């Protein structure tokens, strides 16, 4: 466990929580690559597979710079052996069916003490930065239950909670669903935390935000 406190730059949710060590458990949700990015159908199928892998890897690299533990939920074959050379220790769970069920299954394996933070992240955030993840963790410690909306303000890219098992409301209209469930919207100035990629225009927009090295390498060749 990494011992952190308010002195590390994490916001205060009361003196006890601020001064107590805490752990960050992260969950990344990834479809099998053959099923991912179907709305990028204009790209060659092999390139879509490579893009799904590159975006997942860049997302995980940003997350593991902050998290103590990472659980990836996916039915992608051989994913653990592909990820570990890049990330070190990572747990891969089979998808139990549905994003919210996946979050619940992964959250059950992660620390959920009074000061611990759990954060779930979608796998297509190639521009995500460690500073983005750190900001969401800080907000969760201050406010208890938070989320980040996507660029359009309709979907969700990240959701986090402190001191409890994480529950999510991913799906159609998830930003409104998270608000209705009591999550606070993180007002982030970091567009890199909101730029998920579903459409060709999203990929072009991500390219302007300096995505991670694996996605950048592919974009340069498209």
Q: Mean pLDDT across the stretch 41-60?
A: 87
Q: What is the pLDDT of residue 204?
A: 83
Q: What one-character DSSP code corresponds to residue 42? A: T
Q: What one-character DSSP code corresponds to residue 73? A: E
What tens digit of pLDDT does each residue of 82-113 get? Answer: 999 999 999 999 999 999 999 999 999 999 99
Q: Please provide the CATH number assigned to the domain covering 20-219.
A: 3.90.550.10
Q: Which residue has the tokens 């992660």?
A: 110
Q: What is the pLDDT of residue 7?
A: 38
* Range scoring the smallest mean pLDDT among 113-122, 149-158, 198-207, 210-219: 198-207
**Residue 188 banded pLDDT, cuts 50, 70, 90:** low
Domain map (residue ranges) of the chain: 20-219
- In Å, what is the CA distance from 214 to each residue of 29, 67, 131, 217? 18, 20, 19, 5
96 with 30: CB under 8 angstroms?
no
Residues constituting the chain = 222
Pairing of strands 145-149, 184-185: parallel
Say yes or no to pLDDT of 5 above 70. no
H-type alpha helices, 5-98? 15-19, 45-64, 79-87
């Amino acid at each position: 466990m990494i011992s952190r406190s308010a002195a590390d730059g994490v916001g205060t949710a009361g003196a006890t929580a601020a001064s107590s060590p805490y752990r960050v458990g992260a969950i990344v949700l990834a479809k099998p690559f053959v099923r991912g990015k179907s709305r990028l159908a204009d790209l060659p199928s092999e390139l879509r597979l490579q893009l799904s892998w590159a975006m997942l890897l860049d997302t995980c690299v940003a997350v593991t710079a902050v998290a103590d533990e990472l659980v990836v939920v996916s039915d992608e074959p051989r994913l653990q052996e592909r990820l570990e050379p890049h990330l070190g220790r990572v747990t891969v769970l089979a998808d139990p069916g549905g994003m919210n069920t996946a979050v619940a299954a992964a959250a059950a394996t992660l620390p959920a003490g009074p000061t611990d933070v759990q954060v779930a992240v979608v796998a297509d955030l190639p521009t995500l930065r460690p500073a983005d993840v750190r900001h969401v963790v800080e907000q969760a410690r201050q406010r208890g239950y938070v989320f980040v909306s996507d660029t359009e303000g309709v979907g969700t890219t990240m959701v986090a909670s402190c001191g409890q098992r994480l529950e999510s409301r991913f799906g159609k209209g998830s930003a409104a669903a998270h608000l209705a469930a009591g999550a606070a919207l993180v007002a982030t100035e970091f567009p890199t935390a909101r730029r998920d990629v579903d459409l060709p225009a999203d990929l072009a927009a991500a390219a302007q935000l300096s995505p991670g090295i694996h996605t950048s390498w592919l974009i340069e060749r498209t």
